[in-house]
Amino acid sequence: MVDVGGKPRTERVAVATARLRMKPATVRRIVAGKVEKGDVLAAAQLAGVMAAKHTPDLVPLCHPIALSAVEVEVWTRRAGVDVRTEVRTVDRTGVEMEALTAAAAAALTVYDMCKSVDRGMVLESLQLEHKAGGRSGTWSRRARPSGRKKRKAPA
């Protein structure tokens, strides 16, 4: 492990996202509460919180740190489920791994609960969106291009 003992405790935050693609019929089952294993979105949310708290048990050499907040949002879209996690601490090292682990666990929980009706689901992305605090400061992922070209306003 990296020695962080000499670093000051500072406020740190990290945001991560995950996206799971699935059949629209599977999304409809989630929304309607027709998934055999239960409330998919609530279970995914809880899994994310639990995973953030257990990150050092899952990721070798990851420092155990005191988390001050873990927020997990899970919602449906037409062809899938999106996850957004935000983790906070006041400590000597960042919470990027906790945010990413939370997002991954939430997405995997959705997969587990829905695999009996849709084995073709795909975890499309798992990524850090934002981190702040510590010596390296703030970092944010640039917005994805929409694919549309911007038009200049007429003069």
Which residues are tagged catalytic?
112
95 contacts 13 by C-beta, under 8 angstroms: yes
CA angle 14, 53, 97 (to 5 degrees): 40
Count the neighbouring beta carbons within 10 Å of the beta carbon of residue 116.
10
Backbone φ, ψ for residue 114 (5° rounding): -110, 0
The residue with tokens 């390296």 is: 136
